[in-house]
Structure 1
Amino acid sequence: MARPGVRRVRADAGAPPPLDAMWPMTVPAVAQLWAEGLELAPGATVLVGENASGKSTLVEVLAVALGLNPEGGSAGARLETRRTEPDALPLVVERAPGAPRWAYLLRDETLHGLYTYLEESGPSYHHLSHGEAFLAIFEDRARGAGTYLLDEPDAALSFAGQLRLVAGLVDVVDRGAQVVVATHSPLVAALPGATILEVGPWGLRPAAWDDLELTASWRQFLDRPESFLRHLR
């Protein structure tokens, strides 16, 4: 049997198309999703790309399509600080038969608001470090089958914290979950078994970890940091 999960996100053919000149359709990755649809791997998908490449916007678009609060949490989360997310696009989410509806979004840039919201009925995340609080929420919410969206989790985490996150992602995928992670970290991008999509002016394209500019740049920097730093003066 096919593994349950979100198989594809596509445009609703019966809805009027959004204007190409309006955000987020000006983001190449979003425009490609609208034109071609986006098939999601049954396990893990990793999005990599430069700042402003559109990977976070794509995560937000997917979150809204799944009915999630765009600032983080589940479909039932009620929090809003300052709305910066794209409005809902007329998208159709195709799921495998029997796929669980549980989904959760964690966004680094809105975690402070999510901590405050969750503290209304739970533990005090503000008493933890940023990274500890992020991992605590992830490990509490991502316990089994479902769809989990993580936007730049590496921003909150040390090297050891990123290793712990990767271990948690491997574990939850092994238990039937589907994850989509946007990251700047070559460590997180090395998530075993993940499908890697490189995001940029071209839209979305499959990539191998060894071929990523992200991987090559970090490898070169760690081998010879002075070759980069001398150009900053």
Structure 2
Amino acid sequence: MFLMNASLFLRHAELLRDRVPSFQSYPFSLPAVRSLQRLTFHRPVTFLVGENGSGKSTLLEGLAAAWGFNPEGGTLNFSFETRASHSALYRHLRLARGVHRPKDGFFLRAESYYNVASYIDQLDEEPEAGPLIRTAFGGKSLHEQSHGESFFAAFMNRFRGTGLYLLDEPEAALSPMRQMTLLARMHQLVGRHSQFIIATHSPILMSYPYADICLLDEDGIRSVPLEETEHFVITRAFMNDREGMLRELLSEPEE
């Protein structure tokens, strides 16, 4: 049985608008944030989608930091800081947590996963270190694997279920085949009472049937079906008429 709203770990996030210093400054100036009242999660998987700069990664980071995750990623126990570049959004979010608490959790963001891997190696090398942390990731240093392999190691080994998993563009280093494997792994974990919130550009991941797709654009945040996302429309149009699309894209501009 899949989690639904009443039993989700994160039920909704509310922007404390009266505490926002200015809606003219970042990140509150982003249309998706500026119009935010309450973002409610109805299903075990929620995708945040939109064009670059729409604010999906900023919103996901805010949710993660408000929950207690390190803004650079990792588990709730990861407390390193490489560069404090995260926004102040998390300070202005109120999260409604479910009755049940997750037994596992992870915040994965593509742009700072290298820092997470370095932190794991650092902890494993300390003299007083106990069991190696890398064991939970398959037993091999994440730096001794390709970017895609290290991502995949976390999905397949570190994610155990009954967890809250926030993923920022997990497809960044994955081939289409690995994206499909990730989709299957996610379904397994959903069956183990897990909740996912994922910022993505991948139509493959967005195809997951037990999910809500939240589109962030100039009008704010709204729920849309897969077929109405620009990601799906453009990908389908390109594959259905590859030669015509390439002819138009590569044509010389008229002087």
Q: Does 1:204 align with 2:204?
A: no
Mark the runs of 5 or more structure 2 residues left unpaired by the alignment.
125-133, 135-139
Q: Answer yes or no: is the 8 Å Cα contact 1:7–1:42 preserved in 2.
A: no
The secondary structure found in structure 2 opposite 1:46 is: strand
User: Residue 79 of structure 1 corresponds to which residue in structure 2?
Assistant: 80
How far, CA to CA, are the matches of 1:148 and 1:3 in structure 2? 15
1:176-201 Cα distance to aligned partner (Å, 9 max, x none)? 11101111111011112111111111
How far, CA to CA, are the matches of 1:32 and 1:41 in structure 2? 20
The secondary structure found in structure 1 opposite 2:46 is: strand
Overall identity of the aligned pairs, in %: 38
User: Residue 11 of structure 1 corresponds to which residue in structure 2?
Assistant: 15
The secondary structure found in structure 1 opposite 2:79 is: coil
Q: Answer yes or no: is the 8 Å Cα contact 1:4–1:100 preserved in 2.
A: no
1:91-145 Cα distance to aligned partner (Å, 9 max, x none)? 2211121232643100011111111112232231111111110011122332111
Counting only pairs closer than 5 Å after superposition, residues 169-208 of structure 1 correspond to structure 2 as: 169-208=186-225
Q: Which moved more, 1:43-52 or 1:118-127?
A: 118-127
User: Which amino acid is 1:38 matched to?
Assistant: L
Counting only pairs closer than 5 Å after superposition, residues 14-25 of structure 1 correspond to structure 2 as: 16-25=19-28
How far, CA to CA, are the matches of 1:56 and 1:17 in structure 2? 19
User: Residue 34 of structure 2 corresponds to which residue in structure 1?
Assistant: 31
Q: Normalising to structure 1: TM-score of the pair?
A: 0.92
Q: Answer yes or no: is the 8 Å Cα contact 1:7–1:95 preserved in 2.
A: yes
1:47–1:27: structure 2 CA closer, same or farther, 3 Å change rule? same
Q: Which moved more, 1:68-77 or 1:138-147?
A: 138-147
RMSD: 1.8
Q: Answer yes or no: is the 8 Å Cα contact 2:63–2:93 preserved in 1.
A: no
1:59-103 Cα distance to aligned partner (Å, 9 max, x none)? 111111111101111222122222321123222211121232643
How far, CA to CA, are the matches of 2:244 and 2:71 in structure 1? 40
Q: Which moved more, 1:197-206 or 1:115-124?
A: 115-124
Q: Which moved more, 1:36-45 or 1:152-161?
A: 36-45
Q: Answer yes or no: is the 8 Å Cα contact 1:3–1:42 preserved in 2.
A: no
User: Residue 99 of structure 2 corresponds to which residue in structure 1?
Assistant: 97
Mark the runs of 5 or more structure 1 residues left unpaired by the alignment.
none
Larger radius of gyration: 2
How far, CA to CA, are the matches of 1:198 and 1:89 in structure 2? 23
How far, CA to CA, are the matches of 2:183 and 2:158 in structure 1? 15
Q: Does 1:57 align with 2:58?
A: yes
How far, CA to CA, are the matches of 2:163 and 2:42 in structure 1? 13
Q: Normalising to structure 2: TM-score of the pair?
A: 0.84
Q: Which moved more, 1:22-31 or 1:144-153?
A: 22-31
1:3-32 Cα distance to aligned partner (Å, 9 max, x none)? 24111111347x733311121101122223
User: Which amino acid is 2:96 matched to?
Assistant: E
